[in-house]
Amino acid sequence: MADQLVFEGICPICGAGRRFEARSRDFRNHLKCSGCRSIPRERALFAVVEMYYPDWQTLTIHESSPAMRGASERFRSQAANYVATQYDPTLAPGVFDKAREFRNENLEHQTFQPESFDLVITQDVFEHVFRPDLAIAEIARTLRPGGAHICTVPLTRRDEPSRRRASLVDDEVIHHLDPQYHGNPISKDGSLVTVDWGFDILEYFARHSGLATSMVLIDDIERGIRARYNEVLICRKSLPAALL
């Protein structure tokens, strides 16, 4: 039987896409919505945001390294307050680009005030960060109580311990394994993979941030949500006890 590569359904992000089509069985990066061209992990992340924060349009959202489509585009156009950041170490931190589309922020050392955001979104960012301990701690610092970091990361190691592929020592990249790169919309060189993550990322995030971490896996082809490594992590900042 030929592999099925086209599915009917309704895209949770754009609502207009009624068909999901892939070129191969590698759905993760290729099962595209006919409407917004989103891919499964973007639809999974958006579905989780809608499930946990159905009022997201009223919230203040920081997204690091957004995609130019899909969930990022909906957050950008419809959230009450949305700031997108990219990191260029040659530019001053905290400054916007000329088009005011991106604020320059190093996820590991952010210039945002504490408790600035209801939601922080990262989509396939944490496998490229050299100091994920600092990045998750900074995300926790900038979240408001009751807010959450919602993210996708390819958890390729599954039950095996996460392992480091590359680290940065005195501004020099040290490779512990063969270098691997993922596509990067703002760099033709792609992004170096620094960590192969497994499910122990939940414990790692909790340890370095104090956030309450959990993982959601949706498999629902009618919303085009089906792929390998399609888990969504949700890391919540507790409300003060008096408000519970």
Q: How far is the CB of 143 from Zn ion (least distance, A)?
A: 28
**Is position 13 an interface residue for Zn ion (rule: CB under 5 A)?**
yes
**Comparison of 36 and 218: residue with beta carbon closer to Zn ion:** 36
Query: 106: which DSSP letter?
Result: B
**Comparison of 34 and 214: residue with beta carbon closer to Zn ion:** 34
**Token pair 């920081």 is at which residue?**
62
Among 22, 31, 36, 135, binds Zn ion (CB under 5 A): 36
The interface region with Zn ion, picked from 31-39, 85-93, 200-208, 211-219 by CB under 5 A, is 31-39
Residue 62, CB half-sphere, CA atoms under 13 Å: how many? 29
**Is position 44 an interface residue for Zn ion (rule: CB under 5 A)?**
no
**Is position 10 an interface residue for Zn ion (rule: CB under 5 A)?**
no
**Is position 33 an interface residue for Zn ion (rule: CB under 5 A)?**
yes
Cα–Cα distance measured from residue 121 to residue 220, given in angstroms and rounded to the nearest whole number: 22
The interface region with Zn ion, picked from 32-40, 61-69, 92-100, 136-144 by CB under 5 A, is 32-40
| Rounded (5°) CA angle 178-207-202 | 60
Q: How far is the CB of 12 from Zn ion (least distance, A)?
A: 8
Q: What is the distance in angstroms between the CA of the first residue and the CA of the last residue of the chain?
A: 54
Pairing of strands 163-164, 166-169: unpaired
**Is position 39 an interface residue for Zn ion (rule: CB under 5 A)?**
no
Among 9, 17, 40, 147, binds Zn ion (CB under 5 A): 17
The interface region with Zn ion, picked from 5-13, 89-97, 110-118, 180-188 by CB under 5 A, is 5-13
Calculate Rg over the CA atoms of the chain: 18
What are the tokens at 81?
């307050």
What are the tokens at 209?
């941030």
DSSP-H helix ranges across 53-193: 70-78, 132-142
Which residues sit at the interface with Zn ion, rule CB under 5 A?
A: 11, 13-14, 17, 33, 35-36, 38
